[in-house]
Amino acid sequence: MSTGGERTDRPRVCFLGAGTMAGAVIGGMLSAGWPADRITATHRRPEGRAAVAEKYGIEVTETSPEAVADADLVVVAVKPYAALDVLASVVEGLSPHTVVASLCAGITCAAMESALESTGRVQLARLSVVRVMPNTACLVRAGVSGISAGRHADEQALARVVEVMQTVGSTVEIPEAQQDALAAVSGSGGAYLALVAEAMIEAGVHQGLPRTVADDLVRQTFAGAAALLVEGEHPAVLREQVTSPAGSTAAAINALESAGVRAAFLSAIAAATERNRALGAPADESR
């Protein structure tokens, strides 16, 4: 998977949990040439450990203090409800130079810092904690990650996290108060677009296109629209360029607006933001 040109001065990164999101970041790092021997992961099931080790060619162990002992950066990548317990389970292996990052929706830097402070070990109480919200496009090195530093994270700590996340996409540093909204827009955003793609394929089939043709058309339309968007033109201008007065696109846009598509996105992103906040609330048992 490596593109060669591996740098041996890369930080050693240990992912706690090796599911979808960690896998996307690991896959992207490897394809960017990050040395496989500088990436490790933990998995709670032995068969999962074997599968992840085989897939990525990295060392995968159970979650333990030993697993993080050599890491420069420890990335918590389990479901939000398990994040603080998983962090607590490795503290004995952390050292004062370790940076701890979390990809977990809703989990605040303060919550992670409290978990470290509650160990009673002075050097861990001042550990650098960084909150990161990536998305699954990291796998193809086209992700975007929102990054917020915790109370003790200095420029050097932040730079270590940025180095990893810029290997798999772009990064934006934001105040932590905006993390739940960012997750609702870009963390989850790929799912909204996948839903639209699915709906467009079905609609094409409904109009008589062969499924494989509809599938190809939609994939390439998304790729083309994304390429135009990243050139920087405003989305409204791109939409207007396609929309002739009284034309077919105008008819379609009218149908979408009448169906409340814009309001649906407002509600969807508000619902996701609220859910992310709830996931970080200590009393939430449904995370």
At 224, phi and psi to the nearest 5? -65, -45
State the Cα–Cα distance between residues 36 and 31, nearest whole angstrom: 10
Question: Cβ neighbours of residue 174 under 8 Å, at least 6 residues apart?
Answer: 146, 147, 148, 182
Query: Per rule CB under 6 A, is residue 187 in the interface with ligand A1CAB?
Result: yes
Query: Per rule CB under 6 A, is residue 143 in the interface with ligand NAI?
Result: no
Query: Which one of the spans 19-27, 213-221, 234-242, 252-260 is the region binding ligand NAI (CB under 6 A)?
Result: 19-27
Residue with tokens 């962090």: 87
The length of the chain, given as a count of residues: 287
The answer to the question of whether 16 is labelled as a binding residue is: yes
State the Cα–Cα distance between residues 179 and 142, nearest whole angstrom: 19
The 223-262 contact track toward ligand NAI, x by CB under 6 A, reads: ----------------------------------------
Among 14, 21, 29, 144, binds ligand NAI (CB under 6 A): 21
State the Cα–Cα distance between residues 78 and 94, nearest whole angstrom: 18
Among 25, 68, 73, 86, binds ligand NAI (CB under 6 A): 86
Residue with tokens 């074997």: 50
State the Cα–Cα distance between residues 64 and 13, nearest whole angstrom: 15
Nearer of residues 85 and 257 to ligand NAI, judged by Cβ? 85
User: What DSSP assignment string belongs to 193-221?
Assistant: HHHHHHHHHHHHHHTT--HHHHHHHHHHH
Query: Per rule CB under 6 A, is residue 179 in the interface with ligand NAI?
Result: no
Query: Per rule CB under 6 A, is residue 183 in the interface with ligand A1CAB?
Result: yes
**Residues annotated as binding site for NADP(+)?**
16-21, 77-80
The residues binding ligand NAI (CB under 6 A) are: 16-22, 42-44, 63, 77-80, 82, 86, 103-105, 133-136, 187
The residues binding ligand A1CAB (CB under 6 A) are: 105, 183, 187-188
